[in-house]
Chain A
Amino acid sequence: MAISDIPGLSALRTSMQWHQQRQRLLAENVSNADTPNYQARDLVRPTGAALVAGTKPGLTLARTNAGHITLAGGDNTNFALERKSSSETRPTGNAVSLDDEMLKVAQNQMDYQAATSLYTRSLGLLKTAMGKR
């Protein structure tokens, strides 16, 4: 049993991956804040069962024997893209609101921090269960 098989930890792991991908997308939006005809993009936050199950890893190890170890999870998971119409589009066709994006970055960072803190706590819980002094 891998550590990611525990539902709580698995959900946190998926959530952290989501924050990572979102950070990348937000960086893309901010760096293209002056590019003509660029539309800001965002990710849909996974909820409920999708969060626990995680998304399917892009690559898995081939198993020819039942005793083989499965790959716990790939790196290239994909989350749904949300393309919402922004509130304002500038004359150049650019629809990135820098303030909105900065707000999202701050929020993303805070949520990620919360997720890592929870993950650390959960690991501590496991250590306690194992009889850590």
Chain B
Amino acid sequence: MDFLKSMGIAASGLRAQAGRMRVISENIANADSTASAVGGDPYRRKIPTFTSEVDRALDARVLKMGRVSQDQSNFKSKYDPSHPAADANGNVKFPNVNSLVEMTDLKEAQRSYEANLNIVTATRRMIQRTLDILRA
């Protein structure tokens, strides 16, 4: 039945967006995670990726979360000689996480999540309508 397939597709969207939110919250939580020893690297920002793949059972292209890759951009550098991870010049490497970017990403994920949720609600209402034919 097509309605149940619609629900399945929307559910795949919900799952993927929730996974994306998990990665984003990981980035935000670790925005200040530095290395504990000299020379170590701080937390590296993670990037969630999406791919669409054909689900044979649903006969549709559903959303799947792909590999979580790492952002290879440069770390931020701050001058703080008292920090345990400070190098000879007193500079400390901080994670390449930009809270503003993460917040924007989070908003986008939230918007997509709500859109998928809307599909589930609309489909449920349509199924209800179909059942109402029986009742009449």
A113 touching B129, Cβ below 8 Å: yes
A30 touching B136, Cβ below 8 Å: no
Main secondary structure of the interface of B (DSSP, over half): helix
The listed residue (A16, A105, A120) touching B122 by CB distance below 8 A is: A105
Contacts of B122 in A (CB 8 A): 23, 105-106, 108-109
A31 touching B63, Cβ below 8 Å: yes
B111 touching A24, Cβ below 8 Å: no
Question: How long is the Cα–Cα vector from A105 to B119 in the complex, in angstroms?
Answer: 7
A31-B62, A119-B133, A124-B136 given as contacts; is B116 within 8 A of A20 (CB)? no
A35-B52, A38-B52 given as contacts; is B129 within 8 A of A27 (CB)? no
With both chains docked as a complex, state the minimum distance between the C-beta of A108 and any C-beta of chain B, in angstroms.
8
Main secondary structure of the interface of A (DSSP, over half): helix
The listed residue (B2, B13, B112) touching A20 by CB distance below 8 A is: B2
Which residue on chain B has the smallest CB distance to residue A32? B52
Contacts of B63 in A (CB 8 A): 31-32, 34-35
A19 touching B126, Cβ below 8 Å: yes
Question: How long is the Cα–Cα vector from A58 to B52 in the complex, in angstroms?
Answer: 27
Q: How many residues of B contact A (CB 8 A)?
A: 36
Which residue on chain A has the smallest CB distance to residue B63? A31
Q: How many residues of A contact B (CB 8 A)?
A: 33
Which of B10, B16, B61, B129 is packed against the most chain A CB atoms within 10 Å?
A: B129
B133 touching A27, Cβ below 8 Å: no
Contacts of A36 in B (CB 8 A): 50
Given contacts A23-B3, A28-B61, A35-B51, 5 further A-B contacts (CB under 8 A): A34-B17, A98-B111, A113-B129, A120-B133, A124-B136
A binding-site residues for B, Cβ under 8 Å: 16-17, 19-21, 23-24, 26-28, 30-36, 38, 75, 98, 101-102, 105-106, 108-109, 112-113, 116, 119-120, 123-124
> 3 tightest CB-CB pairs across the interface, nearest first?
A31-B13, A20-B2, A27-B6
- Of the A-B pairs whose beta carbons lie under 8 Å apart in the complex, a sample of 14, sorted by A's number, is A19-B126, A20-B1, A30-B119, A31-B12, A31-B116, A32-B61, A33-B112, A101-B115, A105-B118, A105-B122, A112-B126, A113-B125, A116-B132, A123-B136
